[in-house]
């Protein structure tokens, strides 16, 4: 089956795919031969299907196997629209970016959209896995989670969907620590899965809650394992760019760009992008550090 989904222009699937490292985390996969994106999705019905997404004039095509119901197709449409930010409008940001050399190409490249998972649950877990570790370890931990707890794709069982909260809620901390090798993150992920599975927490509601950024940030910080960096990263994924996700890379680049290599802290990073106001996180994300000042 195939769906054609429109995107608010300008749009570039390649820009979304390469917006950050999520493309290297299962169940995402880049289809290099076509320039497309694949994702193994477990639908609300329990059906597991692989989505193949390619850019077409004005949007994307989504192909998948199976005789799915209208409701399942509608779920896929909602998921892909969210994952790729097809309805996001960056015109106000582009207007500002035209006057900054380091961001002047953002509109031409249709940059701004950041690849998201279908659920905020998956993005929260993946973000927790990026904290206090190297990127290679993040990939290992994430892919272990999928391999051990994800539902298999019938046509290719070794490939699996991201595990549901209910599935993770059934395991225990020791398994997550020793077999999945999540370390100190194990209790955070287990508690979050159990809160969602029991209905105690409705994480997905935050995607459409329409909360002001400070209130949304408080909700995110209330999740165990989410600190300032992780909250800023998740706010970016939710379309709120008021905070810069400050990590060692941000400190290094801001130090080199504006402080002659001297040691800087969070305050200096935030101050460097303060002129961008509600878009300062996005300005940081897309800043072309390769250009000479």
- Residue-wise pLDDT for 74-122, tens only, equals 999 999 999 999 999 999 999 999 999 999 999 999 999 999 999 999 9
Q: What is the pLDDT of residue 290?
A: 85
Task: Quote the pTM value.
Answer: 0.96
Tokens linked to 205: 């509601």
Would you state the structure tokens that stand for residue 144, as one six-digit string? 């272990």
User: Which tops the pLDDT comparison, 293 or 86?
Assistant: 86
Which CATH fold topology does 2-91 show? TATA-Binding Protein (3.30.310)
Question: Which pLDDT value is given to residue 55?
Answer: 98
Residue 292: its pLDDT value, please? 54
Token code pair at residue 180: 């999945």
Rounded CA separation 102/288 (Å): 5
Mean pLDDT over each residue of the chain, to the nearest integer: 96
The count of other CB atoms within 10 Å of the CB of residue 33 is 6
According to the model, what pLDDT value does residue 89 have? 97
Rounded Cα distance, 96 and 94, in Å? 5
DSSP state of 265: -
Say which CATH architecture domain 120-237 belongs to. Orthogonal Bundle (1.10)
- Which residues have C-beta within 8 Å of that of residue 210, sequence separation ≥ 6? none
Please name which of 87, 75, 70 lies closest in space to residue 51, comparing C-alpha atoms.
75
Domain ranges of the chain: 2-91, 120-237, 248-286
Q: Give bridge partners of residue 31 from the DSSP assignment.
A: 36
Q: CA-CA distance, 163 to 157, in Å (whole number)?
A: 14
66 pLDDT band (50/70/90 cuts)? Answer: confident
- The string of pLDDT tens digits covering residues 248-272 is 999 999 999 999 999 999 999 999 9
């Amino acid at each position: 089956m195939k769906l054609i989904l429109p995107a608010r222009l300008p749009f570039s699937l390649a820009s979304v795919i390469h917006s950050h490292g999520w493309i290297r985390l299962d169940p995402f996969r880049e289809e290099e031969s076509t320039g497309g994106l694949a994702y193994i999705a477990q639908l609300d019905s329990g059906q597991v299907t692989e989505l193949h997404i390619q850019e077409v004039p004005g949007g994307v095509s989504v192909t998948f196997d199976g005789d799915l119901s209208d409701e399942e197709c509608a779920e896929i449409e909602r998921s892909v629209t969210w994952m790729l930010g097809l309805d996001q409008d960056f015109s106000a940001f582009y207007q500002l970016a035209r006057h900054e050399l380091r961001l002047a190409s953002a509109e031409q490249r249709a940059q701004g959209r950041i690849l998201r998972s279908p659920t905020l649950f998956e993005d929260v877990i993946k973000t927790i896995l990026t904290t206090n570790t190297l990127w290679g370890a993040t990939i290992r931990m994430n892919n272990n989670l999928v391999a051990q707890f994800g539902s298999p794709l019938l046509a290719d069982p070794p490939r699996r969907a991201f595990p549901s909260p209910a599935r993770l809620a059934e395991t225990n901390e020791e398994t997550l620590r020793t077999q999945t090798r999540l370390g100190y993150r194990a209790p955070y992920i287990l508690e979050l899965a159990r809160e969602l599975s029991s209905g105690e927490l409705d994480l997905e509601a935050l995607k459409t809650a329409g909360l002001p950024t400070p209130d949304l940030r408080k909700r995110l910080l209330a999740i165990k394992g989410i600190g300032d960096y992780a909250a800023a990263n998740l706010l970016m994924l939710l379309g709120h760019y008021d905070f810069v996700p400050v990590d060692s890379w941000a400190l290094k680049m801001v130090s080199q760009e504006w402080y002659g290599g001297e040691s800087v802290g969070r305050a200096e990073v935030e101050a460097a992008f303060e002129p961008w106001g509600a878009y300062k996180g996005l300005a940081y994300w897309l800043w072309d550090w390769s250009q000479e000042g």
